[in-house]
Structure 1
Amino acid sequence: MFWKKCPSAVLATLLTIHLLAHIDRNVLLGFSPQIIKDLAINNAQYGFLVGAVWVLSFGVMAMFMGTLADRFSRTRIIAAGVLIWSVCTWASGHAQTFEQMAIARFFVASGEAALVPAAVGLLAELFSEKRRGTAMGLFFMGIPLGIGCSFLLAGTIGAAHGWRTTFYALGVIGVAIAMPLALLKEYRGQLAPEDRGAPALQQVLTVLRLIRGHRALRFTIAGFVLTHIAFASLSFTQLWMVNERGMDAAGIATRIGALQLLFGTLGSVVGGVLSDRMARKLPGGHATFMTLLVVFCAPFIIAYRFAPAGSALFYIGMCVGFFLPLALYGPANAAITSMAPQKMRSTISGFTMLCINVFAIAIGTVAVGAATDYLIANGTTVPLTRVLLTTDVLAISSALFFALAARASCQQPAIDIHPLQTTR
């Protein structure tokens, strides 16, 4: 297929789609006051819209979509996902009740669940192991860019034309992207059975057996999931700064957004590029690089919780905290896909997304809130500081799992199938 002869163009297209996905995912946050008022919903209902409904749909569907991407055309899986989430984003703009918005957001998440597993599998095929971390890092740059752009849209176009018009426009843009994408052919149905993913249930069971029997892969996934505890603590960062560090709510919100956009994006690029360069020289490859990166960043992240608010060390620690999770996306996905057969890569990516969303983000966020409430009820001073420090330690403990993965990979070499230029 001609389009596979330009891997850089494929990467740029996937990055654009990933950017759109995270704008559609996070734009609800940028319009939270207006949507809560217009739909007459309470804070608990709003929390369900931005949290539980997303995890319930995205987490489960990511693995199912991964099995489809390993078996059928990945370009058409992505196109179908873009079409579904874009139509449902457009429908979100028409929502008049909480129930209507919840249904629309559920299917937005279901559509977006198709993107990452299929894109990771495709990039792992098109880019050799020496360049894979860079490609993955650039693709996942869509996360911080999408978050930042969603708030910028809410503050500019949204402020002038309203949240409903913004949702309509995003939906139309997505449909316009999905149509030509569906025309890109990928003849995976003609692959031999041994080179193609199995039916969904069989594929899932095969992948679980692979993970159970591959120590380096198992440890890498565990470490990558643990790093996402940082995202659970991020939900409470502004509350911590205002309530326990005495900072101004309006001012710090703008700074958090700007610094997260800047250093999250920087992390995606730097982590991917450096991992590819250093992994070639380090025993244990990408896993060793991730171990060293987490260990290097750990002192700054811990110091951040104790440094005087507004001090240089405080902001350095904050920026490192935004940098580190995104810097691990490139090397972690490169390592995971390199340790998996080509016909299982999308499913394993979907399994990883499932674990991240359920264990780190959903359960992690609830646990942070519950632990904070418990400490407050027992009269503990600075309860959020104590709880968020615990989440920091848990995220940093990922270095142990990455180190175990590096040790295991030296004994059990990674599987790297050279990318095919065509799948005819």
Structure 2
Amino acid sequence: MNWKNRPGAVLATLLTIHLLGQIDRNMLLGFSPQITRDLALSNAQYGFLVGAVWVLSYGVMSVLMGTLADRFSRPRLIAVGLIIWSVCTAASGTAHTFGQMVAARFLVASGEAALIPAAVALLYEVFAPQRRSAAIGLFFMGIPVGIGCSFLLAGSFGAEHGWRTTFLVLGAIGMTIAIPLSLLRERRGEQPQDARGEPFVAQVGAVVALLRGNPTIALTIVGFVLVHMVVAGLSFSQLWLVRERGFDGASIARTIGLLQIVFGTLGSLAGGALGDRYARRLPGGLATFMLILVLLAAPLMIAYRLTPAGSPLFYAGMCAGSFLPLALYGPAITVIQSLTPPQMRSTITGCCMLLINIFAAAIGSFAIGSVSDALVRAGVSAPLTKVLLGADIVAIASALFFLMAARRLCRKTPTPQGVNEAVLP
């Protein structure tokens, strides 16, 4: 397993795959006008396609793929997932009915669910403690860059060759990358720290028992999930900015996309790197660092909803909302991984992805839409402003859980990276 001795190459490979996965995932958004026209999709069908189909498949499969990653070769599991989602990305380009597109996108999500649980555990293993948060943060840089690239590809290559050809080309690229990746071998269980996980039911039960016995992990996960209410609010940002702040739809869409790429990427880089640098100096380590990030962003996020459109505070708040969620990925996942035994690390990451998809992507988005509709019917002025401010406050409430996690970590002896390593049997 000499490839594990080259952590930089491992990170570069996983980041490339993550970037491709995010492009494949979000390309449907970049081509939404063309696809809805060509397949004669209603708004409800399109919403189901980009929302419920993905949440149901990706969220549930993340847990299953996590248990498999804790038992078998992680590079080969990622390769299998990459083949599945690449084949189905190409199949998306051949779909001619709503049902065919649903089936293709469902399997794209199922394949992509193999990546993050396995990749996070690998990065945690191959990087030294003082570099883990930065490495994981760099890996999650694939989210904002992938989202931006999907729109850029749709507007450039896709504009010339069409959405069907674009999907076919992306599928071919993924299958090409999967071939050498599948050749990497990883024998689990050769060393004590590489202990294999249990079968699915027993593994999930072990994770539940771990959460009950270690409230610090549970508190960190709750805070991490809550902060994703910012992401749920992002789905309604363009509607809010056009309807209640008077922006032009096309111009503000470009602004949102640019800020997501710039400040989402900056968040991924800065959150991980600064977490590694300063967490060792803070009581409570990375949990305290995350608390500070939320408290610094909170006033700007609130000002974004209340100040006049176009003011400096308005744009500062927009940038803070793009920065904060990505800045927490490296520190939050490092804390969770540090307190979890090796044989459960992929599974618990899969559980985090499931919770984020259920509570933020599904329930959060539905709640924002439903409550704003109710306020409209009641004749309340600026309904989206009020609901999105409420969603931001829920995200800011994550600070309470990071505070409780930090206080628990302060009672124990910190490791050099500012969190406690799991006590292994």
User: TM-score, normalized by length of structure 1?
Assistant: 0.97
Deviation at 1:190, TM superposition (A): 4.5
Summarize deviations over 1:347-404 as a string: whole Å, max 9, x none: 0100000000001111000000000000000000000000000000000000100010
Deviation at 1:192, TM superposition (A): 6.2
Which residue in the other structure is 1:13 paired with?
13
Change over 3 Å in CA distance of 1:266–1:194 after alignment to 2: closer
Deviation at 1:48, TM superposition (A): 0.8
Q: Distance in 2 between matches of 1:300 and 1:215?
A: 30
Summarize deviations over 1:154-181 as a string: whole Å, max 9, x none: 0000000000000000000000001110
Which residue in the other structure is 2:416 paired with?
none
Which residue in the other structure is 2:235 paired with?
235
Letter in 1 for 2:315: Y
Letter in 1 for 2:114: A
Which residue in the other structure is 1:319 paired with?
319
Which residue in the other structure is 1:75 paired with?
75
SS at match of 1:218: helix
Answer yes or no: is the 8 Å Cα contact 2:189–2:195 preserved in 1: no
Which residue in the other structure is 2:404 paired with?
404
Q: Is 1:150 aligned with 2:150? A: yes
Letter in 1 for 2:342: Q
Answer yes or no: is the 8 Å Cα contact 1:73–1:189 preserved in 2: no
Q: Distance in 1 between matches of 2:159 and 2:34?
A: 10
Which residue in the other structure is 2:224 paired with?
224
| TM alignment of 1:89-128, pairs within 5 A | 89-128=89-128
Q: Is 1:299 aligned with 2:299? A: yes
Q: Distance in 2 between matches of 1:326 and 1:55?
A: 20
Q: Distance in 1 between matches of 2:390 and 2:420?
A: 35
Which residue in the other structure is 1:282 paired with?
282
Which residue in the other structure is 1:308 paired with?
308
SS at match of 2:51: helix
Q: Distance in 2 between matches of 1:200 and 1:408?
A: 30
Deviation at 1:416, TM superposition (A): 2.5
Deviation at 1:215, TM superposition (A): 1.2
Summarize deviations over 1:291-322 as a string: whole Å, max 9, x none: 01100110000001111111211111101110
Which residue in the other structure is 2:421 paired with?
416
Answer yes or no: is the 8 Å Cα contact 1:216–1:412 preserved in 2: no
Q: Distance in 2 between matches of 1:348 and 1:108?
A: 22
Letter in 1 for 2:392: D
Letter in 1 for 2:421: D
Q: Distance in 2 between matches of 1:118 and 1:180?
A: 17
| TM alignment of 1:254-403, pairs within 5 A | 254-403=254-403
Q: Distance in 2 between matches of 1:113 and 1:227?
A: 21
Change over 3 Å in CA distance of 1:164–1:393 after alignment to 2: same
Answer yes or no: is the 8 Å Cα contact 1:216–1:408 preserved in 2: yes
Letter in 2 for 1:176: T
Which residue in the other structure is 2:173 paired with?
173
| TM alignment of 1:172-251, pairs within 5 A | 172-188=172-188, 190=190, 195-251=195-251
Which 4+ runs in 1 deviate beyond 6 A?
none
Deviation at 1:412, TM superposition (A): 4.8
Q: Distance in 2 between matches of 1:127 and 1:203?
A: 25
Q: Is 1:60 aligned with 2:65? A: no
Q: Distance in 1 between matches of 2:421 and 2:408?
A: 16
Letter in 2 for 1:40: A
Q: Distance in 1 between matches of 2:15 and 2:244?
A: 38
Deviation at 1:410, TM superposition (A): 2.2
Q: Distance in 2 between matches of 1:183 and 1:21?
A: 20
Deviation at 1:128, TM superposition (A): 2.5
Deviation at 1:2, TM superposition (A): 1.1
Q: Distance in 2 between matches of 1:96 and 1:191?
A: 50
- Give ranges in structure 2 of 5+ residues lacking alignment: 414-418
Q: Distance in 2 between matches of 1:305 and 1:417?
A: 41
Summarize deviations over 1:54-79 as a string: whole Å, max 9, x none: 00000000011000001100001100
Deviation at 1:130, TM superposition (A): 1.4
Summarize deviations over 1:11-53 as a string: whole Å, max 9, x none: 0100000000000000000000000000011010001111100
Equivalenced residues, count:
418
- Give ranges in structure 1 of 5+ residues lacking alignment: 419-424
Q: Is 1:139 aligned with 2:152? A: no
Q: Distance in 1 between matches of 2:352 and 2:209?
A: 15
SS at match of 1:245: coil
SS at match of 2:281: coil
Answer yes or no: is the 8 Å Cα contact 2:18–2:115 preserved in 1: yes
Q: Distance in 1 between matches of 2:410 and 2:221?
A: 17
Answer yes or no: is the 8 Å Cα contact 2:188–2:194 preserved in 1: no
Change over 3 Å in CA distance of 1:390–1:321 after alignment to 2: same
Summarize deviations over 1:83-135 as a string: whole Å, max 9, x none: 00000000000000000000000000000000000001101111122111000
Answer yes or no: is the 8 Å Cα contact 1:129–1:338 preserved in 2: no
User: TM-score, normalized by length of structure 2?
Assistant: 0.97
Answer yes or no: is the 8 Å Cα contact 1:129–1:334 preserved in 2: no
Summarize deviations over 1:204-242 as a string: whole Å, max 9, x none: 100111011101111000000000011110000000000
Change over 3 Å in CA distance of 1:311–1:193 after alignment to 2: closer
Deviation at 1:415, TM superposition (A): 4.5
Letter in 1 for 2:104: A
Letter in 2 for 1:123: L
RMSD: 1.3
Answer yes or no: is the 8 Å Cα contact 2:188–2:195 preserved in 1: no
Deviates more, 1:158-167 or 1:129-138: 129-138
Letter in 2 for 1:155: G
